[in-house]
Amino acid sequence: MTRHRALGALFGAGLLLLAIPARAADAWPEIRVQVVARTATTISAPMSGQLAEFPLHDGDRFEKGALLGRFVCAEQEGALAHARAVLEEKRQVYATNHKLRDLGTGSGLDYHVAAAQVEEAAADVQTATALVDNCSVKAPFAGRVGGIQARPWQFLGVGAPMLDILEDKALELELIVPSRWLAWLKQGAGFGLSIDETGRSYQAEVSGLSGKVDPISQSIKVYGRLLAPAGDLLPGMSGHATFNPPTQ
């Protein structure tokens, strides 16, 4: 009996020793964090056709409005030129009928028909212009190419992915923490950040919290921002974030 009591006491002490680090690790854990671009999108082909220009490569930087791609568009440009010529013809007919009506020698019906034809031709020009505008793909924001899915002179269908772009100057941090941390984790809370790829440490703060808790994992997504610019960071890098919960 004495031996059994001694073993029981030792076993219980062992459980106690194991439990202490577990609670400490749970209270002061290192959380995986990922660097992401706040704005990122895939540019898709706005029309079916062959790429005449595709100047950028993976990793290239560009300014807002820069040319990302241009399609062969002789047919669309010809249709626009024809629509403009028709519009000019209809405007001249309308102007003639307008003068005749003012002189009292023209037909009111001819005048109204000519006016309607001008509006119709103007709508055709607007449609043709939109088609020509689709021939050139412009950058919606300044950023960097994050991936290429097309090549010069390749024929693409409408909606086919061309390239991935991202705004690499506006980086954000994403991490998932235990939902019970909501008792003390608020927007503006500071945390340390260590990135695997650079081997450097950074300071950050919580910029936002997800609007829902995952009931299965009992976790919540947290968003953070760097407190100082870090030109060596790229989207996709990852590391550890260390928080210091308040002492209970």
Rounded distance, CA 44 to CA 147, Å?
A: 12
Residues 6+ apart with CB under 8 A from 166: 37, 39, 40, 41, 143, 144, 146, 235
Name the CATH superfamily for 27-39+169-242.
Answer: Efflux pump adaptor protein, beta barrel domain (2.40.30.170)
Q: What pLDDT, on the 0 to 100 scale, is given for residue 247?
A: 61
Q: What pLDDT, on the 0 to 100 scale, is given for residue 11?
A: 33
Q: What integer best gives the mean pLDDT of the chain?
A: 86
The tens digit of pLDDT for each residue in 106-116 reads: 666 777 888 89
Q: What pLDDT, on the 0 to 100 scale, is given for residue 168?
A: 82
Name the residue ranges covered by the structural domains of the chain.
27-39+169-242, 74-133
Q: What pLDDT, on the 0 to 100 scale, is given for residue 5?
A: 46
- pLDDT above 90 as % of the chain: 73
Once rounded to an integer, what is the mean pLDDT over residues 187-196?
94
- According to DSSP, residue 104 is labeled T
pLDDT at 217 over 90: yes
H/E segment holding residue 115:
helix 108-133
CB 173 within 8 A of CB 225: yes
**Sheet with 161-166, side-by-side order of all strands:** 40-44, 161-166, 143-148, 61-62
Q: What pLDDT, on the 0 to 100 scale, is given for residue 24?
A: 38
pLDDT at 22 over 90: no
Q: How large is the C-alpha radius of gyration of the chain?
A: 32
pLDDT at 6 over 60: no
Structure tokens at 173: 């941090």
Q: What pLDDT, on the 0 to 100 scale, is given for residue 169?
A: 82
Once rounded to an integer, what is the mean pLDDT over residues 135-148?
95
pLDDT at 78 over 70: yes
What does the angle CA 113 – CA 115 – CA 116 come to, to the nearest 5 degrees?
65
CATH code matching the domain that covers 74-133, chosen among 3.30.70, 1.10.287, 1.25.10, 2.40.50: 1.10.287
Q: What pLDDT, on the 0 to 100 scale, is given for residue 130?
A: 94
What does the angle CA 218 – CA 208 – CA 221 come to, to the nearest 5 degrees?
25
Q: pLDDT band for 8, please (50, 70, 90 cuts).
A: very low
How would you classify residue 47: left for phi > 0, otherwise alpha for psi between -120 and 50, otherwise beta?
A: beta
H/E segment holding residue 201:
strand 201-209
The tens digit of pLDDT for each residue in 84-140 reads: 999 999 999 888 888 877 666 666 677 788 889 999 999 999 999 999 999 999 999
Once rounded to an integer, what is the mean pLDDT over residues 211-218?
95
- HSE (side-chain half, CA atoms, 13 Å) at 243: 26
- 């056709």: which residue's tokens? 49
